[in-house]
Amino acid sequence: MKSYWIYSIFIFVLYACGENASAESNKMNSDTNEADESNTKSGLYKPGLIDTIDYQYQEWYPGRNQLKIEGMFDEKYKRHGKWVYYDKNGMELSMTTYTHNLKQGFSIVKYPNGVIYYRGEYNQDKKVGLWTFYNNKGEKDKEIIYNNNGEKVNEINYDAE
């Protein structure tokens, strides 16, 4: 179970850190991606698995039966707005908001069983305010308070029994 949890966190970090999707958007294949007269890019990044139409990004699990990631880009193809990650069954695993590729606003991440792992807010890509962490049973595990510079100022650990 512990290795499954570590694997889940690894997968989340891979996608939620924000680098992969924006990096992919900057490596467009000129053979399959075009810009129309309004300079709106559309097309496929990976054959059949990633679509971008009118600044909307969608990544699918193989078979295209289930959405894996969805979000929006700004005019420079930086993450902008709400980005959501789903498991293979369509359950939301995480949601983070962005402003021009910086995490900005509310963020929530869930365990594979749907229970909240943590939630908190970002300001200009820095954690701010109260961040609350839970164990995989939904019991509060700890709270961390960050100042406006993203520095940890207090941490409270709870003994969930």
93: tokens are 């695993």
Q: Residue 27's domain is classified under what CATH number? A: 3.90.930
Residues whose CB is less than 8 angstroms from the CB of residue 161 and which lie 6 or more positions away in sequence, other chains included: none
Single pTM value for the model: 0.69
Cα–Cα distance between 54 and 142 in angstroms, integer?
A: 41
pLDDT at 160: 56
* Secondary structure of 18-64 as H, E, C letters: CHHHHHHHHCCCCCCEEECCCCCEEEECCCCCEEEECCEEEEECCCC
In tens, the pLDDT along 77-91 reads: 999 999 999 999 999
Range of the domain at 83: 2-157
Residue 6: the pLDDT is 45
**CA–CA gap between residue 106 and residue 88 (Å, rounded):** 24
Domain count, the chain: 1
* Span 18-46, pLDDT tens digits: 444 443 444 333 333 333 444 444 444 45
Place of tokens 């193809």: 77
